[in-house]
Chains A and B, each alone.
Chain A
């Protein structure tokens, strides 16, 4: 393998721009002791993938892909032991001389690919796995989520997401003179607009992005934070983790962006089709594959099978073919899909298989650098036998789930939209607006207009109409829900989403239990028993699997899709709620002993100590608390002997009473009121 075996050859693609990298400037760094070769503009993740790393480690004995949706944090070797300096692989620029190690539990066992494969890797100095074990049930979100904020940036509006909607919102607010801070996770602006494209009569997304980016650069009141991940929203403050570079140095910061309003424009998550092996190395989402190819000129394989329920994947398959990848077939779960991209794909000579879903994927025998994919019919009751084929890459597209995590965190609600088979935001949150795909807009024009409309709604208090053109279903078949393979006791796990949550498909056995147990209906909500953070795409998949009732989906997402930050507060003195005012007679005693009750001093022989709160009775006979005539409320005032007690008005000086405490009864004498004691003094 050459150093850049997975890179698209320079000039080989008219469509995949490799816009982030500079092919003339190689970079070299170390990851887990292995040399990684990349190009200027790469992230550590893209360089690692280009160098042949494709596996994050193992979970439940199976290989788990290293990809854009999941990569463990890394740390510079010189900072090992200080988890606060952990860095995200996908946001960290690949720089010469970095010496990084990935964080997490190391896998002591053998990898699943062959001895010879491992021997070859060892001899060549290459590796393909970061060799972690992900069996622990705790979430694996970045440790930076636990860090406290070091600074605050005030703003009029904070915009999360630098796609079309976010850029449009920033421009609209920026032109009006508002202080804008825009947060984008990727190293560049534009989001996934180029993946979705535009329709006739609209500018190409790259033209729109370039125009808006250029204008934003002229606005001094607009601040753009790239490589910045929004971790949380509370009120109108957005907490952000940003990777910054200066020369060859790297730093990170946690900053609170305190706005008067917040616009969330984070787009959608690509859903995983549900089949065993859906997170094996070299199984990748279409959007993730597009981003690697378009930004870094990278396809992590030389041949591909595409399995989709959306039209965008055809476009990717076409461009991949154009870039030299052997696209063996495009399988579509829909029976008779129509799309202009389907026609183009046919023209490219790519075999198309409608009504076909992935049944399973396995690592191919040998060096494990390929996949064996089984495809079957999506038609219920059909008897067509499944087809098995080998491929370098399986590109899957299971439709889109708006990324509602921050919306939920901000107090927003969502509900299951059955027609689109996904969770959608509902209701309003004061001073927070949604834009773009998060607000339900999909088109180029709709996303642009919704960004501006979000600003108008927040600051001008009016909601302009938004034109979100959709091509008739006759010509562009709508997305179908993600394909679901039949439940089998397969050796590979089926994950509900591609992120860090690792929620797997509930076992088929639990469904059987519900069916045959005759005496009692067992509501087997397996996800409810998971004490783990869920992702919104996990919830959407769980509804599709009937593992979560659709009516509960909004609640589940709102309550369970949270940032799994550490809760421990190690302050010396625990924080309390504000103290109650100190009063002589607390409210909980007022009225207990009738009208006119008052505080007296009592003396107990031998100055015996009694518990505060002890009850006082008129006689030594056993009696229930309602028969008590008073209670001990505290020690005597400074300089006085005795104990303060709160008594019924009938009690007089000199009376003998009985204090019952800890099961013992002590005779006591009422001596005088503390007020009198003060006077006598």
Chain B
């Protein structure tokens, strides 16, 4: 059995995990092993990557406003530009408090040069308030992930299959990965997406830091185009997307039967839309609804969570922080979002799903 050692083992299968792994290896010179599920073109998406979001804290916008264009530039350089599309996403509020929060998002985002208007679109909602972000980026994962994988292969980054690699996590923050014929010792562990966190962290560690929520991913048969490629009905916990597919991809928080009803109510103006695929999964969010990048559990794994749909677009900033190359406001931003609940006061973002979350260990 061969043995190797790496600086960092990154666990996660999302585009964020893959991009982080590549940036830490290429830009920051770390020796990295990515432990991810192999990409499957069939698998329904468990999330979307959007360069904007219902972000209420100016400091979050400040980091994102720098990091998002940088992400697009990086993806362009590494040949993954086709994995992004320009969109004007819509956020819909059915309830007044949500409208107030989104209105604040509009004001703050405007301060960072991101225009949000409030069109009237009966094809989207007749009673709710619509907020349209001008000129955002959205990933097309079936194109983006293979392109990222190709880049990682060129970087000769070590990669292991999350399903077949046995990992022993040690209390000093290191880990030993054992495959069929080799062993890898990692000095640090990064958990980069909710799926990996739910797999790796103990119920106790999850319960102390996170809430979880069942969620549903659904695909429809081909149907007429959405009024916008990405629509988020905030009070329904539903996101509809039509990116690179003739059908609609829908993501909804909550139990499957309730989620299906909320998705169905959001497919406005259509006589019939049949589902063609469905998957259930779990969402994970820090207890206070704010982004987190901090050490979690007795295994002291650096865990990234709570960045929401824009997570991918924080990647360059996160990579700098994880490589201890962040300075100034950016470093301060991530330091305030560590895992110590004592230091995390006054950083919560608007979290509409807070009313339905349950302790992380209760969602199976």
| Contact partner, A628, options B58, B218, B271, B288, Cβ 8 Å | B58
Q: Considering only CB atoms, which chain B residue lies closest to A583 in the complex?
A: B97
Contacts of A631 in B (CB 8 A): 104, 107
- Closest Cβ of chain A to B226, distance in Å, is 14
- Expressed in whole angstroms, the Cα–Cα distance for A139 and B223 within the complex equals 12
Contacts of B257 in A (CB 8 A): 234
B209 at the interface (CB under 8 A from A): no
A203 at the interface (CB under 8 A from B): no
B179 at the interface (CB under 8 A from A): no
B21 at the interface (CB under 8 A from A): no
| Contact partner, A590, options B44, B346, B352, B356, Cβ 8 Å | B346
Q: Considering only CB atoms, which chain B residue lies closest to A569 in the complex?
A: B264
A661 at the interface (CB under 8 A from B): yes
Contacts of B347 in A (CB 8 A): 591
Q: Considering only CB atoms, which chain B residue lies closest to A521 in the complex?
A: B150
Produce 1/0 per residue, A387-426, CB < 8 A to B.
Answer: 0000000000000000000000001000000000000000
**Do A531 and B221 have beta carbons less than 8 Å apart?**
yes
- Closest Cβ of chain A to B106, distance in Å, is 7
| Contact partner, A574, options B94, B97, B254, Cβ 8 Å | B94
Contacts of B110 in A (CB 8 A): 663
**Do A556 and B42 have beta carbons less than 8 Å apart?**
yes
Q: Known A576-B236, A580-B97, A590-B346; judge A523-B146 contact (CB<8 A).
A: yes
Of the candidates A529, A574, A579, A612, the one having the most CB atoms from chain B within 10 angstroms of its own CB is A574
A349 at the interface (CB under 8 A from B): no
Interface stretch among A156-164, A264-272, A558-566, A668-676? A558-566
Of the candidates A529, A580, A661, A663, the one having the most CB atoms from chain B within 10 angstroms of its own CB is A580
| Contact partner, A531, options B58, B102, B106, B222, Cβ 8 Å | B222
A626 at the interface (CB under 8 A from B): yes
Of the candidates B99, B258, B267, the one having the most CB atoms from chain A within 10 angstroms of its own CB is B267
- Expressed in whole angstroms, the Cα–Cα distance for A615 and B253 within the complex equals 31
**Do B235 and A587 have beta carbons less than 8 Å apart?**
no
Count of CB-CB pairs between chains A and B under 8 Å: 212
Q: Known A577-B254, A592-B57, A660-B107; judge A568-B267 contact (CB<8 A).
A: yes
Interface size on A, residues (CB 8 A): 66
**Do B351 and A588 have beta carbons less than 8 Å apart?**
yes
A153 at the interface (CB under 8 A from B): no
Interface stretch among B66-74, B276-284, B298-306, B313-321? B276-284
**Restricting to A611-627, which residues have a CB under 8 Å from any CB of B?**
611-615, 624-626
Produce 1/0 per residue, A571-601, CB < 8 A to B.
Answer: 1011111111110001111111000000000
| Contact partner, A137, options B101, B221, B272, Cβ 8 Å | B221
Dominant SS at the A interface? loop
Produce 1/0 per residue, B268-302, CB < 8 A to A.
Answer: 00111111111110000000110000000000000
Contacts of B127 in A (CB 8 A): 573
- Closest Cβ of chain B to A212, distance in Å, is 35
**Do B97 and A625 have beta carbons less than 8 Å apart?**
no
**Restricting to B85-127, which residues have a CB under 8 Å from any CB of A?**
94-95, 97, 99-108, 110-112, 127
**Do A661 and B262 have beta carbons less than 8 Å apart?**
no
Produce 1/0 per residue, B118-154, CB < 8 A to A.
Answer: 0000000001000000000000001000100010000
Q: Known A559-B278, A612-B100; judge A587-B289 contact (CB<8 A).
A: yes
**Do B353 and A528 have beta carbons less than 8 Å apart?**
no
Contacts of B253 in A (CB 8 A): 577
- Expressed in whole angstroms, the Cα–Cα distance for A410 and B335 within the complex equals 43
B9 at the interface (CB under 8 A from A): no
**Do B275 and A624 have beta carbons less than 8 Å apart?**
no
- Closest Cβ of chain A to B352, distance in Å, is 7
A533 at the interface (CB under 8 A from B): yes
Given contacts A577-B262, A580-B352, 8 further A-B contacts (CB under 8 A): A523-B146, A574-B265, A588-B56, A590-B345, A590-B346, A612-B100, A613-B107, A625-B107
Some 24 contacts from A to B, beta carbons below 8 A apart, are: A137-B222, A528-B42, A531-B246, A531-B247, A564-B221, A565-B274, A567-B260, A567-B263, A569-B263, A569-B264, A569-B265, A574-B266, A575-B258, A575-B262, A577-B356, A578-B355, A581-B355, A588-B350, A589-B104, A591-B345, A613-B100, A613-B105, A624-B62, A660-B107
Closest 3 CB pairs of A and B: A591-B346, A613-B104, A569-B264
